[in-house]
Amino acid sequence: MAKKILKTGFPEGFYWGASTSAHQVEGGNTNDWSVWERENSARLAKEALSKSYPGHVLNDYPGPLRRENYVSGASVDHYGRYEEDFNIAKSLGHNAHRFSIEWSRIEPKEGEFSEREIEHYRKVINALRARGVEPFITLWHFTNPIWIKNIGGWTNKKTAFFFVRFAEKMVKEFGDVKFWLTINEPMIYAGKSFLQGTWPPACRQAGRKEKSLLKYIRVLNNFSVAHKKAYEAVKKVNRSAQVGIAKNNIYFEGKGLNAVLANLADWWWNERFLDDIKDHQDFIGLNYYFHNRVKGFKFNQNENKKISDMGWEIYPEGIYRVLQNLAKYKKPIYITENGMAEAKDEKRADFIRSHLKWVNKAIKDSIDIRGYFYWSLLDNFEWDKGFWPRFGLLEVDHKTLERKIRESGLKYRDIILGKDKV
């Protein structure tokens, strides 16, 4: 049955919120990334010397040239300040929030689950519930416990088995949570870690060359097995749980013969994994950031009329194109990430509005879209780029950890509340 459209232009019951992930915001984590950061921070700071950054970014703290930029450390202490952060999210009209549970906290040693950390996440979930904010939980967002790293991480089949056991445990503990995302962006992680070799476990200094097509394929297969088995395990514990993954999809565009290449990339990057798990998902989580134009048989020939601080092209129409392609799966879709890095906050409000305009068009075309989560609630640790990219609706002063609502956060609120139209 078609849902009533509210004055916001979005359906009744639509989830509005923002996303975070544990390692990027919590602080104080000990996992494969925290080890890798220590090994690589000096190199990353040195390499930054030869790259061009927007001037205001170089002067910001901690800018890309500083070693501490690349060490997550205390991050933005969301672990200690989640109540304050949720108060702000609530004041901005959010009725949902996506976050991840840090596996290395829950299971620091194989088979030993930490009651204290389980209690922490119970409090986090309760804090959201107390504010009328629906939790969407990601079970794996790029980080592994050290003992998983030591068995070869996701190149080892056993990791899928251990992950399923962890997933099952979480669903048993947090039985009242409805929305579960198993794995965040399998294609991105496998690609960065095993094709590009720019993310853990690859480490030049330590002589670990992980680039390998074989490992890449093996990791993707293990993600697929992990997702399907976790899906079954979760549903066994809680029939009414809704389980999906967060899938990074790209709008590949090409004309004439270039379309052949674009279609091939579309199949490999956007569809293959989703086809593979199509009988094991209740919804699709979409992370949309990229448009990729194929021209002269080359990828990434984008016009880049508007870009973020990281140089990523702003291309709102692409979200509509990828949504159109996802419609064939006939599953509800939640946009689990969409956002941009920008310290000055001059383009972000328009970024959000223009993307939502295209989401709205997709809804009018009868595509079943049920939520939108901006990435991110607050400035955080952007993996191998570190702290300098500013994605937050809330600005964080990295010296004092003080939070300040950005103008765009207020503009997003006005859209959510129907005070402003997209």
Between 166 and 199, name the residue whose CB sits nearer to ligand FCB: 199
Contacts of 13 (CB under 8 A, 6+ apart): 3, 370
User: Which tokens go with 281?
Assistant: 């998902």
Minimum gap (Å) between residue 100 Cβ and ligand FCB? 9
Minimum separation from the CB atom of position 383 to ligand FCB (A): 6
* Binding flag, residue 337, ligand FCB (CB under 6 A): yes
- With CB under 6 A as the rule, give the number of residues binding ligand FCB: 12
Q: Are strands 403-405 and 394-396 parallel, antiparallel or unpaired?
A: antiparallel
- The string of DSSP letters for 377-411 reads SB---BGGGBT-S---SEEE-TTT--EEE-HHHHH
Q: State which of positions 292-311 bind ligand FCB (CB under 6 A).
A: none
Cα–Cα dist 369/363, whole Å: 6
CB of 373 closer than 8 Å to CB of 98: yes
The residues in 171-230 that bind ligand FCB, with binding defined as CB under 6 A, are 184-185, 188
Beta carbon nearer to ligand FCB, 312 or 329: 312
Q: How far is the CB of 296 from ligand FCB (least distance, A)?
A: 28
Tell me the per-residue interface mask from 14 to 43 with ligand FCB, x by CB under 6 A, - otherwise.
Answer: -------x--x-------------------
Shortest gap between Cβ of 32 and ligand FCB (angstroms)?
A: 15
Between CA 308 and CA 209 the distance in angstroms is 31
- Choosing from 102, 337, 342, 382, the catalytic residue is 337
Place of tokens 């480490």: 203
Q: How far is the CB of 173 from ligand FCB (least distance, A)?
A: 24
Dihedral sign, Cα of residue 161, residue 183, residue 115, residue 242: negative
Which parts of 39-78 interact with ligand FCB (CB under 6 A)?
Answer: none
Question: 37: burial class by Cβ within 10 Å (0-12, 13-18, 19+)?
Answer: buried
Verify binding: residue 379, ligand FCB, rule CB under 6 A.
no
* Burial of 345: CB neighbours in 10 Å, binned 0-12, 13-18, 19+: middle
The secondary structure of 122-169 as a DSSP string is HHHHHHHHHTT-EEEEEEESS---HHHHHTTGGGSHHHHHHHHHHHHH
Sketch the per residue contact string, 236 through 255, with ligand FCB: x for CB under 6 A, - otherwise: ------------x-------
Distance CA 321, CA 251 (A): 6
Is 407 considered catalytic here?
Answer: no
382 binds ligand FCB (CB under 6 A): yes
According to the binding rule CB under 6 A, does residue 138 interact with ligand FCB? no
Using the rule CB under 6 A, is 136 a contact of ligand FCB? no
- Contacts with ligand FCB, 390-419, as mask; x by CB under 6 A: -x----------------------------
| First-residue to last-residue Cα distance in the chain | 24
313 makes contact with ligand FCB (CB under 6 A): no
Closest approach of Cβ 249 to ligand FCB, in Å? 11
Instruction: Give the footprint of ligand FCB on this chain (CB under 6 A).
Output: 21, 24, 184-185, 188, 248, 287, 337, 375, 382-383, 391
Active site residues: 337
